Amino acid sequence: MNTAVKIVSLLLGVMLVALAVMSAGCNTKIPVASESSAHASTESFEDTQSTDGAESTDSTEGEENSSNNTDESTSPEQSTSSEDVSSEESEDSGSEASEESSEDVIVDPSEGTGDNSPYGDDYYTYTTDISKFYEAIVLPDSPDKFLVLVNKENKLGRNDVPENLVDCVNTRDDGRDTQKLVYEAELALQAFLNEARAFGFDDVSVTSAYRSYYTQDYLFDKYVENELHKFDTREEAEEYVSTYSSRPGTSEHQTGLCVDMHNLSSASQSFGSTDAAKWLEENAYKFGFILRYPKDKEDVTEIMWEPWHFRFVGRYHATRIHELGLCLEEYIETYYPEQIQD
């Protein structure tokens, strides 16, 4: 009898131990990624923002036959950082992050220039080999070197002459004087027009580049004389002429950084409707150039739309200006106000 009781007691003890173990097993949790870890794996995006109109006048049309055969009317960063989503639990949030990362992030143009630019070489595509022009286009050591504003309020002196002026090899071969450009601008222009020729635009040539203060003075005075008969006073004629020809000291041509180029007999806004002009405007930034006087910025530049007038600023700034849809005045006033004269 005693033996039977002991056996029953032993069996009851075993059963109680088993029940305790099973109860403990039910309270065990499967390890999962913490909420903070899941959020960290789906973060894919950081906003780092910091951030010439009417048809050309007759005087403009015929200006290529004037002194020095010049045309007148002188006148970026899609930075998305995306991290791979590594957890299946964060699949939905990862999808949302992926959509967000496809949006443009405006990066403060005053930061990340040169080698640190978020616009790496992979951002640009070229059909032609630009290797020997690369440093002139990119300006890796001094990307802000040519970020200069010249207009009616920001003037050059009569004795301001740019350094390193060289012959422009793409000067129109019609008997005019060989035009001059600052060295880096000339090399970048060679690459630009090489690319244009690769796309079939082989008839675009430079009709005007560097002009001295004195040449600009002569041209402006000539146009005023031509327009005088339309106005009561000389001041009125000068004001009208200033919409298509810059007064001396206010012309970009004096910097040696801009060119007038087209495939017409003389500069005309009709050039803007050609395939060549459209291609030049759309691709200029890749070579460090901007269309200086856009059609929709006449109220800002105070110069009529000039689809033939391109200005060199270097690839980084040209890309930013192109992507932000700004003219040079707006860009410098927003990001580089120290460049503006008091």
pLDDT of the residue at 220:
97
Averaged pLDDT for residues 33-54? 33
pLDDT of the residue at 11:
61
Contact in structure between 143 and 113 (CB atoms under 8 Å): yes
**Domains defined for the chain, CATH in brackets:** 119-211+251-339 (3.30.1380.10)
180-182 and 309-312: which strand pairing?
unpaired
d(CA 266, CA 22): 95
Q: Which of the pair, 167 or 108, is modelled with greater confidence?
A: 167
Whether pLDDT at 178 is above 60: yes
Q: Which of the pair, 334 or 59, is modelled with greater confidence?
A: 334
Q: Which of the pair, 67 or 253, is modelled with greater confidence?
A: 253
Averaged pLDDT for residues 207-221? 98
Whether pLDDT at 16 is above 70: no
Averaged pLDDT for residues 90-106? 40
Indicate which residue of 63, 184, 306, 329 is catalytic.
Answer: 306
Q: Which of the pair, 316 or 338, is modelled with greater confidence?
A: 316
pLDDT of the residue at 61:
37
Which residues are CB-neighbours of 257 under 8 A, at least 6 positions away?
A: 146, 148, 162, 181, 182, 185, 311, 312, 313
Q: 306 an active-site residue? A: yes
Confidence of residue 158 (pLDDT cuts 50, 70, 90): very high
Q: Which of the pair, 11 or 153, is modelled with greater confidence?
A: 153
pLDDT of the residue at 119:
83
DSSP secondary structure letter of residue 15: H
Predicted TM-score of the model (pTM): 0.70
Which residues are CB-neighbours of 177 under 8 A, at least 6 positions away?
A: 68, 69, 171
pLDDT of the residue at 92:
44
Of 43-47, 107-111, 253-257, the poorest mean pLDDT is in 43-47
Averaged pLDDT for residues 243-260? 97
pLDDT of the residue at 264:
98
Task: Calculate the average pLDDT of the chain.
Answer: 78
**Cβ neighbour number for residue 265 with a 10 Å cutoff:** 12
pLDDT of the residue at 341:
75
**Tell me: the pLDDT tens digits for 278-299?**
999 999 999 999 999 999 999 9
pLDDT of the residue at 339:
82
pLDDT of the residue at 163:
94
Whether pLDDT at 224 is above 60: yes
Whether pLDDT at 129 is above 60: yes
Averaged pLDDT for residues 222-247? 97
